[in-house]
Structure 1
């Protein structure tokens, strides 16, 4: 008779962690299973790693973390009481962790896509995937389409848990089956395609697994799928237009978007945003001509409109599924595009054309991803040129009308990258972006104003744009921003924009209004800020603003001997050289401020920087217009110093 045997399990407490996607704690522990003989001696041993997930359904922003931690310890025997503090810390982290779907994640990437199960809850499987059943899930991939969808959905559940990826990556039969099914059946089921691409997307989020995506040529296949879906979307829109024309031809009525009462009796194209709008389809109907009566009864008109509404709902449903597929496919491509060689291959397959074409969509999450991808590509000249050929700038103003702050921000960043190119900047101006940028800057709704300021700065390099900005609120707005800035280290974009704008006469006049000039000078002196003084110098070069500087000339002159900043002094001398005013007595200025010794010492060849020497010579030319001051210079031997400069050929410019 065989010896009686029994099984004994010993649970070893393990480590605590947080769930990567849910508000839950994860307990990792070992189970040591021993088969003991009749006398209790171990006959066979095995150890398995197990995992328990504790979902904290009641956790929210107002939850008492300490009480919840005690409750977890009491209900879970796997966690020892000594780990109470660790549990509290993990729960606090979960309480404050930002959801993956709340706009941008911590790495500034677009929000991760959701699976098709979350889109089609009525068709999703309630079965929970278990890693030990992976072989049975693979078998589903060899069945018909419904079974393949189910199997891929279960595998996707596993792939969305980062801890499972390493084990899945080692399963060559799984990866081969997934790649084969996607290659053979992607046209037959959009749900199946989305699930499989999503699985490979999970691998693509980690650089160490990129070789898997590349080995099975998933990126190339994704681009083929995207291209097909974009063409199919065009066909769907064409079909919807056919339905509209069918309605009009059979009723003698025109369809107008509801509320457009100002539109005259003329045919118009139903806009894409009407087909994609939420809620029931509502139209106003108008007869082609006043003397034409209805061809059909009201009941027939209602039937045709109901038929149109049915087709619209079908179009919306198909579009929603397709956009989920496009989103996960583009995201996978974005991840593997960190390899520049892979990115180059994508460019050859027209990824930029596909991205630009997708900008016509209305799904905010998809648009955020597409714009982020374009922003990444735009740092290379070849990509930027292709974007120009695809007229990307003309498509971006529409995105600025969206209320999604993340979409607005990444659109601004893409425009900023493109604005380094002169041709792109010209297109932005023609597209009417200037007023929009100033409006956003005034509203302060964008997360980072520096991006808008950088855009305006690039645009302000063109003299025509400087003049155009006089018709907006830009000049007083940015001047007040500079004055009200609490940070004395001004953002480079802000001060650079102000310096450029001050070179325009009308802009300069706006800058000196409402005592702004006095405040600018005070701020510049307080911080010895050479950049603000450069802005003031640009203001001083216009005849219409020079009179405003008369009361500050004494302060400028005194600063020449008192300031330790050479850059600051350089700008002050430049300002004084601009002030060719008959009311200024330069003789008194030179004498009272003891500037003669300072001027002579800086005119010694080799002592001062060439830029400063040049500005001093220009200032002397301005002051010499006063006859008394000219005589003073002669008596002080300043002319001899100038002659020595000419002999030494120290000046770099022809004065």
Structure 2
């Protein structure tokens, strides 16, 4: 009570700091207020001190607001802020403006993902109303509620969840061992009894799992394994209700029709029922009554029309009720089960999402990851992919991505058909869900079986649509690269719209993209893909890109394109660039690709002699072949040698080029390579093809057959284990027989001994004597009985050629997964078709002279040893 001598109250205000509001677009002004009651002499009698705050809401603040002007307005209207703090206020307003823009962006992203929830509950809290308040000070009361009946347990867990939503309370709660133990015990014992209770407790532990510091505490209470058990129980409950719907009896929606009798019907019985006609005699209506009857008919028709309209109006109002009342009891039961299933699934989604997210957070520890895998988490996650909740699907795929790093886990995913459940993720039109699905598919695509499964379920068009997008563009290219490893899968890319995108990215992308170039290298092995790749901009931009960058991958792309017959004419006017690059490039791998491109363009429009001379390519090849005869070659040199021999085989089709090689002495060097090569079937095939082309010309053919030992080496390869080598050898021997009759007899004798070696050895009683590979003496005479061992080891079916065999050479290696173009097809190279064995090879009578010189004494011995039976 104020005394009688007091006069007035004095107030003094001291301004303090100015801060930004933590959550709202507002400025908080701190100030101190001193109040004094003054006495008669002006001295304070009673005083009080108080710290106060004033909140200034900036309702007009947005991204376009002028911060300086708004700061001046705030200072002008609020006398608690001095003018000297103008720059401080302006800085705070700018900070609030930036924070507001960022929050709006996050909110928009959440809206797109379907993650935005009401601000009152990030987690769905069961058992509480929105206006219920929770306090950390009452945590003991909430724990006591967990020991009460089920509604109180749910309510108590809801209050604890509200407390844990504030991250500032987590550390204090985690230090309370009774609280954590009680929550873990209630979850372990009661999750089968109440879904709401288990949902609240899982979300409580989820708040802790967001911080790594609390992981050990959660692992000690076995929360992660408990969540797996909850997942399994809830999914089994859902499946059980779903199976009830499937197994429920169904009645036909149509009205029941009596089953027709199966008893025989007498022939005299009428087929149709008798039509009931009017019983009014016709004569009853006279002419005089015609007008009356007509008027009556019009009235009846109008009455029927009114009743029909009224009936339609009534039915339109009571459609739902009439539909329900028309259902049978079984249909109503099924309908109710479906409603219950939908409601259960909707209620489960939030809790299951929390359980999966908690497991995802705790499986950073690899030991815990192994434990949950043994508990069957992969099967449960694959079952969750059948749900429709975006949040739940997103979290499940995240956990599957984390588990798919290990092959053992991928094998389990394969068992539960995970790939078949992923196409629907692209139908939900959710960018984040699509990106995480791409990551999962990429991890799974390392398995060949799952890579094929991705193509079977029709995911390729969905994947290729994402090529060129800002997010995960490189990952999409990597996934496409894995899907383009075999010929069948490459062909599927031609049915998508991705090839034009890839061409644009390859030609316009500022930075080099190795994955994109590797994808193009695989795709261009298919002819249709190559056509679509250059359909928009042509071949020249790709050639120019390869020349400008001198990059190996671009040369590989062009090399693959040049192997297709439909694209070879487009290389004719550009082939000079590659011939020039061969002589100036330093990278030997790029040189290999350029030489291969020239070798593939075997079309008549190319003047190879001018090409070789104008670019000094002939001197380069001659020098390289001469150096190749030297020992100690590297692997790269061997690859380049094969490509050079291919190129020589292509240019030697031109007689002028063949003479050019003869003048430079290249033919003898090539024959020496054939003589000295050891076990390289690819090189043998290429050299024999080159010699075949040269033997087709008179000058070079006469030189090879008459002046070199080439025929002897080719005869030796006639019995090579590789069928392609044997085929090419037979082609060359046919040319040799046409040139020289002497070699014809020797070749016939060699073939006879080969095909009859087993019989000849029987005649000599040498079947048990091992034979070696045929050798030739210095007089070029053939060892006639040295083929027995090979003939025994190699059955006749292995070396006899069928008349309809496809003749393909140039490669002895499988090209299933290779980035190298397939070898030449000799059916395109030759003008005739080789019969497996012509008549002279089978007709022994034509070989009388040869046989007499080969083994006449053996025939005599065989005749003398015939046993004659007496009559």
Q: What's the TM-score once normalised by structure 1's chain length?
A: 0.75
Distance 1:99 1:338, change over 3 A: farther
Residues 201, 61 of structure 1: CA spacing in aligned structure 2 closer, same or farther, 3 A cutoff?
farther
State how far apart, in whole Å, the 1-side matches of 2:652 and 2:683 are: 18
**Distance change >3 Å, CA 380–CA 118, structure 1 → 2:** closer
Find 2:401's aligned residue among 362, 369, 375: 375
Aligned partner of 1:448 in structure 2 is 472
CA contact (8 A) 1:23 1:59 kept: no
Q: Match for 1:404 among 421, 424, 430?
A: 430
Q: How does 1:489-500 map to 2 (within 5 A)?
A: 489-490=512-513, 492-500=514-522
Q: Which residue pairs with 1:625 in the alignment?
A: 653
Structure 1 counterpart of 2:241: 236
Paired position in structure 2 for 1:344:
370
Residue 150 (structure 1) shift:
3.1
CA RMSD of aligned residues (A): 4.5
SS in 2 for 1:543: coil
| Structure 1 residues 122 and 170, CA gap change in structure 2 (3 angstroms) | closer
Is 1:538 the counterpart of 2:567? The answer is no
Q: Who is 2:215 aligned against?
A: 210
- Structure number with higher relative contact order (C-alpha < 8 Å, ≥ 6 residues apart): 1
2:195 matched residue in structure 1: 190
Instruction: Tell me which residue corresponds to 1:47.
Output: none
- CA separation in 1, counterparts of 2:342 and 2:247? 16
- Residues 117 and 337 of structure 1: CA distance in aligned 2, closer, same or farther (over 3 Å): closer
Separation in structure 2 between the aligned mates of residue 173 and residue 384 of structure 1, nearest angstrom = 40
Contact 2:503–2:534, Cα closer than 8 Å, also in 1: no
Aligned to 2:510: 487
Which structure has the larger Rg? 2
Correspondence 1:437 to 2:459: no
* Residues 43-442 of structure 1: pairs in structure 2 closer than 5 A: 84=89, 85=91, 88-89=94-95, 92-97=98-103, 119=124, 123-240=128-245, 245=249, 248=251, 252=255, 300-301=325-326, 312-438=338-464, 440-441=465-466
The alignment partner of 1:400 has SS state of helix
Distance 1:66 1:420, change over 3 A: farther
1:343 deviation in Å?
A: 0.7
Could you say if the C-alpha distance between residues 111 and 640 of structure 1 is closer, same or farther in structure 2, counting changes exceeding 3 Å?
farther
Match of 2:486 in 1: 462
- Is the CA contact (8 Å cut-off) linking 2:592 and 2:643 kept in structure 1? yes
Contact kept? 1:204, 1:332, Cα under 8 Å: yes
Task: Tell me the equivalent position of 1:654.
Answer: 683
Aligned to 1:615: 643
Q: CA deviation at 1:23?
A: 5.9
Query: 1:318 and 1:576 mapped to 2: Cα distance?
Result: 69
**Matching residue of 2:594:** 572
User: For 1:291-319, what per-residue CA distance to the aligned partner results, in whole angstroms no more than 9, with x for missing partners?
Assistant: xxxxx976722797888766655443332
8 Å contact from structure 1 (residues 153, 195) kept in 2: yes
Q: Is the 8 A contact 2:523 2:529 kept in 1?
A: yes
Q: What do the CA deviations read for 1:601-637 (whole angstroms, capped 9, x no partner)? A: 5553579842334433332332233222233234335
| Aligned residue number for residue 287 of structure 1 | none
- Give the number of aligned pairs: 577
Aligned to 2:764: none
**Kept in 2: contact 1:110–1:369 (CA 8 A):** no
Q: What's the counterpart of residue 746 of structure 2?
A: none
Greater alpha carbon shift after TM alignment, 465-474 vs 355-364: 465-474
CA drift of 1:593 comes to 1.1
Aligned pair in 2 of structure 1 residues 121, 628: CA closer, same or farther (>3 Å)?
A: same
Which of 579, 603, 621 is residue 599 of structure 1 equivalent to? 621
Equivalent residue number for residue 663 of structure 2:
635
In structure 1, C-alpha distance between the alignment counterparts of 2:196 and 2:54, rounded to whole Å = 30
2:608 to 582, 586, 590: 586
TM-score (norm 2): 0.58
- The CA deviation at 1:641 is 6.4
Unmatched tracts of structure 1, length 5 or more = 1-10, 32-50, 254-295
User: Residues 65, 233 of structure 1: CA spacing in aligned structure 2 closer, same or farther, 3 A cutoff?
Assistant: farther
Q: Supply the distance in 1 between the matched residues of 2:569 and 2:494 (Cα, whole angstroms).
A: 21
Aligned-residue offset at 1:69: 7.8
CA contact 1:512–1:545 (8 Å) conserved in 2: no
**How far off is 1:560 after superposition?**
2.3
Separation in 2, partners of 1:470, 1:539: 15
Shift of 1:14: 9.9
